């Protein structure tokens, strides 16, 4: 559902008792944790129990699995995820009682009103770039606050209040949330048409990023390699532009990229920084591009480049971003969030490096009817780079089914040997007989395909025993 951002955003300590509907999501769980750390009375609900709810409970936040109007009986403010339908009983009750009902963007802004806000936006790579920038700043001796769209290994959470003045936030464009943060500095990783269910056209989507750049106070760090960012730079809407990437004219430039197994190495050069080797503990040229943007942002914030480079080496990945899930019967499983053709291509290239001499087997779950309608065939063509492709049924999320838009659009484009996996719950039993020792299985998608890896590993162990 869509909830308007209020004209006045109060600081979190003036919101009273706060309830989050959809608290198990990456965005709301981060905001709930930040408010809780600030001493706000926080509670929440989600459609089902999860590890996220368990983590929040362990921190002292009351979390309920399931939705019930009675849960907001003593609440003053209600924060709702965009995925929550208008007929949710807690939403209906909040409206009936005239409670303060806010979207996540307003809630997040309330936690960082007095901070030096650093917003990381872009179609792809914003979670990783936000995490990398957080690590880079810590390596340079800073202690930033952060809110990231996934759990991050090495940080132990997706959100934390730091002692320093900077607040690093992942700024999501899917519902226009990023237009409300008014950052001191912003990073745009790339602009590649997506979320057209919200924006309607490619032109409107790009215009949203131009509007975002116009809200920035000081400087916008843009990819030197992305055509959309190039167009944004030339639009003249940002107060000042700094570029980072592999292009020869980049202000912060990367060269000599090497992906070796699970490691990426490259050389970074910038004003005030002699050519320096950067070593990342994640595989893929796209991660080198993210690291260059994080390095450029850290330099613009006034931090020591050598310390920033050292901090980048500490980033070992975020949840669902080429995340190793385990190994059984000589078969490794990795999980990633890629759900757009550009992301699929990048993750397959990285996975090919990890697979080595073994086969690359991809299990993909299309996400959203609207996205599959527009990009389904292109998704399939990118998936065809794998040795074996299994396509699960489409994940509907917040949309209604369309009999003409199914996972078959993707499977057919992936080639004649691509396999229909059916519902996610049956995918492990479909995939297991097709595997052989040495295979790398990559599960991809923004839905519940993340459950396939653990279930597949359990089945392989059972079969081996």
* Known active-site residue 127: yes
Name the CA dihedral angle for 264, 268, 273, 279, rounded to a multiple of 10 degrees: 0
Check residue 360 and give left, alpha or beta (phi > 0: left; psi -120 to 50: alpha): beta
H-assigned helices in 140-257: 196-199, 202-214, 227-235
Active-site hit among 93, 151, 166, 170: 170
Check residue 155 and give left, alpha or beta (phi > 0: left; psi -120 to 50: alpha): alpha
Name the CA dihedral angle for 151, 152, 153, 157, rounded to a multiple of 10 degrees: -60
Report how many helices (DSSP H) and strands (DSSP E) the chain contains, helices first.
15, 21
- Distance in angstroms (rounded) separating the CA atoms of residues 56 and 24: 9
Q: For 283, what's the count of Cα atoms within 13 Å in the CB-facing half-sphere?
A: 19
Residue among 445, 446, 456, 368 nearest 406 (CA): 368
Q: Does an H or E element contain 336, and which?
A: strand 331-336
Active-site hit among 82, 123, 127, 129: 127
The residue count of the chain comes to 465
Active-site hit among 126, 151, 343, 406: 126
- 359 CB-contact burial (10 Å; exposed 0-12 / middle 13-18 / buried 19+): middle
* Known active-site residue 325: no
Catalytic residues: 126-127, 170
């Amino acid at each position: 559902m869509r909830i308007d951002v209020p004209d006045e955003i109060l600081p979190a300590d003036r919101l009273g008792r706060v309830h989050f509907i959809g608290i198990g999501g990456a965005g709301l769980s981060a905001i709930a944790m930040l408010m809780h750390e600030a001493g706000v009375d926080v509670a929440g609900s989600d459609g089902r129990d999860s590890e996220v709810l368990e983590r929040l409970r362990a921190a002292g936040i009351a979390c309920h699995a399931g939705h019930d109007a009675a849960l907001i009986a003593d609440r003053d403010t209600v924060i709702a995820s965009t995925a929550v339908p208008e007929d949710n009983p807690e939403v209906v009750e909040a409206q009936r009682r005239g409670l303060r009902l806010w979207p996540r963007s307003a809630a997040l802004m309330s936690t960082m009103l007095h901070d030096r806000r650093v917003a990381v936006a872009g179609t792809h790579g914003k979670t990783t770039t936000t995490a990398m920038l957080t690590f880079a700043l810590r390596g340079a001796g800073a202690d930033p606050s952060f809110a990231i769209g996934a759990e991050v290994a090495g940080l132990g959470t997706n959100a934390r209040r730091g002692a320093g003045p900077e607040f690093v936030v992942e700024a999501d464009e899917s519902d226009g949330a990023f237009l409300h943060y008014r950052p001191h500095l912003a990073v745009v990783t790339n602009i590649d048409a997506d979320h057209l269910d919200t924006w309607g056209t490619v032109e409107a989507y790009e215009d949203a990023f131009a509007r975002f750049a116009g809200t920035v106070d000081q400087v916008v760090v843009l990819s030197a390699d992305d055509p959309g960012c190039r167009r944004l730079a030339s639009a003249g809407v940002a107060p000042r532009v700094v570029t980072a990437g592999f292009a020869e004219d980049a202000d912060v430039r990367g060269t000599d990229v090497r992906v070796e197994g699970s490691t990426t190495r490259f050389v970074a050069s910038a004003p005030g920084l002699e050519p320096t080797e950067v070593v990342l503990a994640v595989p893929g040229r796209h991660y080198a591009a993210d690291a260059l943007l994080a390095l450029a942002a850290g330099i613009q914030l006034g931090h020591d480049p050598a310390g920033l480079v050292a901090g980048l080496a500490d980033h070992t990945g975020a949840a669902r971003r080429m995340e190793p899930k385990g190994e059984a019967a000589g078969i490794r499983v990795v999980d990633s969030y890629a759900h757009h053709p550009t992301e699929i291509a990048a993750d397959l290239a990285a996975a090919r490096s990890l697979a080595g001499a073994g086969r690359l087997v991809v299990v993909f779950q299309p996400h959203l009817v609207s996205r599959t309608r527009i990009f389904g065939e292109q998704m399939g063509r990118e998936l065809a780079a794998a040795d074996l492709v299994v396509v699960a049924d489409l994940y509907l999320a917040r949309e209604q089914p369309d009999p003409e838009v199914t996972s078959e659009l993707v499977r057919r484009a992936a080639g004649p040997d691509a396999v229909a996996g059916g519902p996610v719950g049956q995918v492990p039993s479909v995939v297991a007989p097709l595997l052989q020792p040495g295979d790398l299985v990559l599960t991809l998608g923004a839905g519940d395909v993340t459950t396939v890896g653990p279930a597949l590993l359990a089945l392989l162990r059972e079969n081996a025993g």
